[in-house]
Amino acid sequence: MKDLLQIDGARLWRSLMEMAKIGATPKGGVRRLALTDEDVRGRDLFATWCRDAGMTVSVDEIGNLFARREGTRDDAAPVLIGSHLDTQPEGGRFDGVYGVLAALELVRALNDANIVTEKPIEIVSWTNEEGARFTPAMLGSAVFTGITSLDEALAKKDADDITLADALTQSGYRGARAVNGQAVDAYFEAHIEQGPVLEANGTTIGVVTGGQAIRWLDVTVTGMAAHAGTTPMPYRKDAYFASAQMAAELERIVASYAPRGLVTIGQIGIRNASRNTIAGEVSFTVDLRHHEDSQVDAMERDLRDAFERVAQARGVTLRVETYWRSPATPFDSECVALVANAVEALGYSNERIVSGAGHDAIHLARYCPTAMVFIPCVDGLSHNEAEDALPDDVTRGANVLLNAVLARAGVMATADEQ
């Protein structure tokens, strides 16, 4: 462990706390929605820090922000490291930003040690990872990897009918760098776990082996609006009560897929809602997750069957549409091994873990060799202003990231030896 390069944990923590001031909320969280003034201020600060570290900064057509540290081989594809700076409306200080600033601290540590790598290293902050302003999530990495076309992404609108294209232009982050076709040697991403497993098990590092399958459905239940005081209960076609029964059915269904099956109804709305009117139309979202694609398929089939039975029994109509799907994605075995080797060399406790959340790394894994490093977060809490991580865990995760990336990028010499 003495011979391994390590980062400056205090410096990384200071960077995290300084970035957390941008968009800070009264309860200690952060609000930096993609391409808002707060996100722009965060991007600007990060870009300044990267230039101070001797890196070259560029922005692509979808607003992904890159900072490059050259290697000795001009012909080599870069090792890419990063995450995102945007947050949820009431987000925390570590989700996403930890991966970006851990990558910056990695470069700072290389500078301190005068280490030159064979392959270039590029840090990236992806655009709109959270999907809180523009949906779906992870748009920047989706366009970068060719999963979503640039034109399709630019046409996405937020709740105020502002397109992503207009937001990029207004923010000054609609770059000239081509978004497609870049060769990448490998991609590494550090992140808080966003769940309770590592903390509960007393484990320092999660060696992430891949991401679980995710499927988003949009459900619309249409009944008949009517007067709340004059329509007897047997004559009603109440879209809300039907939706509530469907939700109960969904909870019953997911129990048969325990412990890995997960389901969430995250948004619900009543069209033309009024206090004294029976709900005529209700829409809600469903988020299905499991480690295996086949099990998500089965969960969706069960959902559709159960919802249809409820609809028929209550005399309402039903529409279920697939909004987005992300298949289960294994990470590259060699890159995962580099992370595992770094953990072992550093002497940290660790366990293999599948990511329950969507990350840009899931998209990158279909484009180039990819791996992730997880650290515990306090009480497993994320997407919340109370989100927290311990300084020692933040440092250890960055040490793992540093040594895994060095093993991939190749240590050629110190600057003094060139």
**8 Å CB contact between 278 and 228:** yes
Alpha helices per DSSP H over 92-160? 97-112, 139-144, 150-154
Structure tokens at 45: 């600060």
Alpha helices per DSSP H over 36-96? 37-52
The 8-class DSSP code of residue 112 comes to H
Dist. CA 270–CA 293, nearest whole Å? 32
Residue 359 assigned ligand-binding role: no
Half-sphere exposure (CA, 13 Å, Cβ side) for 53? Answer: 27
**8 Å CB contact between 104 and 123:** yes
Structure tokens at 393: 């865990």
Residues in CB range of 89: below 8 A, 6 or more apart? 31, 33, 132
Residue 118 assigned ligand-binding role: no
Residues in CB range of 233: below 8 A, 6 or more apart? none
Dist. CA 250–CA 253, nearest whole Å? 5
β-strand partners of 190: 373
Residues in CB range of 91: below 8 A, 6 or more apart? 29, 30, 31, 32, 130, 132, 383, 384, 385, 387
Angle between helices 9-20 and 37-52 (to 10 degrees): 150
Q: Which residues of 166-181 are buried (b: 16+ CB within 10 A; e: fewer)?
A: ebbeebebbbeeebee
Residue 191 assigned ligand-binding role: yes
Instruction: Name the binding residues.
Output: 84, 95, 130, 191, 383
Q: Name the binding residues for Zn(2+).
A: 84, 95, 130, 191, 383
